Amino acid sequence: MSIALPSTPASVGSKHTQEPAMPEAENQLPNEDQYKPKHVLSKVSKTLGKDTFFWAPTSHRLIGGLNHNVTPITSKILHTWASLLDTSNDRRVKFEIYPVKITSVPIGLFYYERYRSGENIPEMSTEPLPPGDYDFQVFANKKIDPIAPTSNILSFKQIKYQSTLPKEKSWLLRPVAPEMMYMVGFYIHTIEVPDDIQKEVLERDNGRCLISGTAGDDAITVVWAVPPPLPFAMRYVDGGGVYKSTTELYKSDNAFTLLKDLADAFLDGAFGVDVDDDYRIVVLKNFGPAAQPLIGPNIQAYFHHPSLKAQFKIGPKDIFLRAHFVNCLYINFQGGDIVTQYPKHIVEEREKLLGFYPGESPPLRGGSLPRRSTTNLPIDSPSPWLPSSACACVSEGPLVPPLDPTPSPGCLAQRLQRLL
């Protein structure tokens, strides 16, 4: 199969570009009652029930997504998170998002074309985003993703579990830096908060859960914001680089009181506190009945209610809560791309079985094809880019999971499923 590459390099959209008027019937964001993703969902996306997706503007990668019923999000919130996730401070560019339609293209597995389907959403908009697929228009003189695509980040709970396994088994789950696992394993006892720090924190926090306000010795416990064996997590927030050792995290201002029913979910990154959004509680993974009181667009942590701030002048440091929340975003908001689920060679083997590019090399993947911006196109115009592939695959591992696509009538996934 031969593919003609565009002759011009990728261009950047301009804020002042005039776009054709959109027909009234099409000037709508995705309908949450009717929207169903056209792209194959990964196991992670299915598990989290993701229905709102954000695509990288410079490549074919899926940056991340959310379940709008669990995690309501607005354009303003997305911009706040983009700044928070810019750990190297080199992605601070002005951008706006806009809705797109996704269609599959039959040149291989997981190849998609994106079509603009609505106008740009203002940066500071506080209207909840309906379910759907969204792309970014970046107003800069360089090609850049406002949020860097990433995947396979572990929660603190997953790292704790993996550190207890024999080495030969832990590597089969997910690749984790050996020095990290050594540190966690050596200091595993410090995952639990010692009695002296528990006592100090309970007194400081007035014996109440700082998230819900619940009191009672049998109902609450004391947890770390960032477990001391994991100082690497501090590298991802501004000012966190000074915390280089377990000892520097082994202090009361890295701990707080929490309802026992919430402790496991907090360690697993299912929810966190967005200190930069007035200490708003953000649930990113539905963890059952205990999560329900925390799900909503504007639920503030108990210890930061305006009428209660005076009672909690001293509490956990913002930097530790911020580092925990960044981990929550890494593991639940970012990632979820179908292609990070499989080694590259497995995808290519399946494509050959399906008869794609016989005797030829597979199409380039992962954003390496020159493309032109779709941001200036009329609504419903097809992208002039080559068909998108999200196949920036993870490194090959010893275990190969079976492909688990979600087929729809007539789609490539059905053909694949029949071969397995």
Looking at residues 284-303, what average pLDDT do you find?
Answer: 96
pLDDT at 15 over 90: no
Residue ranges of E strands in 233-293? 255-259, 271-274, 280-283
Least trusted range by pLDDT, from 129-138, 318-327, 389-398: 389-398
DSSP-assigned states of every residue in 48-81? HT--EEEE-TTSS-EEEEE-TTTS---HHHHHHH
pLDDT at 185: 52
pLDDT at 9 over 70: no
Distance CA 214, CA 302 (A): 9
pLDDT at 191: 82
> 106 in helix, strand or coil?
coil
pLDDT at 26 over 70: no
pTM of the model: 0.78
pLDDT at 151 over 70: yes
Question: Which is it for the CA torsion 250, 254, 260, 266, positive or negative?
Answer: negative
Task: Return the domain boundaries, the chain.
Answer: 24-151+335-419, 178-332
Distance CA 281, CA 405 (A): 33
pLDDT at 364: 59
pLDDT at 74 over 50: yes
Q: Give yes or no for a contact between 162 and 72, defined as CB atoms under 8 angstroms apart.
A: no
Distances (CA, A) of 68 to 55, 333, 412: 16, 11, 27
Q: Give yes or no for a contact between 128 and 72, defined as CB atoms under 8 angstroms apart.
A: yes
**Beta-bridge partners for 259:** 220
Tokens 């999000």 belong to residue: 73
pLDDT at 340: 85
Q: What are phi and psi of 59, to 5 degrees?
A: -155, -170
Two structure tokens written together for 204: 């400081």
pLDDT at 25: 36
The predicted-structure confidence for 215-271, as pLDDT tens digits, reads as follows: 999 999 999 999 999 999 999 999 999 999 999 999 999 999 999 999 999 999 999
Distance CA 8, CA 38 (A): 29
CA angle, residues 324, 328, 334, in degrees to nearest 5: 140
The rounded mean pLDDT for the chain is 78
Two structure tokens written together for 254: 């890295």
pLDDT at 384: 32
**Beta-bridge partners for 334:** 64
> 202 in helix, strand or coil?
helix
pLDDT at 240: 94
Looking at residues 384-406, what average pLDDT do you find?
Answer: 31
Distance CA 271, CA 79 (A): 19
Distance CA 403, CA 342 (A): 8
More confident residue, 185 or 134: 134
Radius of gyration of the chain (CA): 23
The predicted-structure confidence for 306-323, as pLDDT tens digits, reads as follows: 999 888 888 999 999 999
DSSP letter at 228 equals T
pLDDT at 368: 35
DSSP letter at 142 equals S
Q: Give yes or no for a contact between 226 and 233, defined as CB atoms under 8 angstroms apart.
A: yes
Least trusted range by pLDDT, from 188-192, 249-253, 273-277: 188-192
Q: Give yes or no for a contact between 63 and 54, defined as CB atoms under 8 angstroms apart.
A: yes
Tell how far CA 258 is from the center of its chain: 25
DSSP letter at 393 equals P
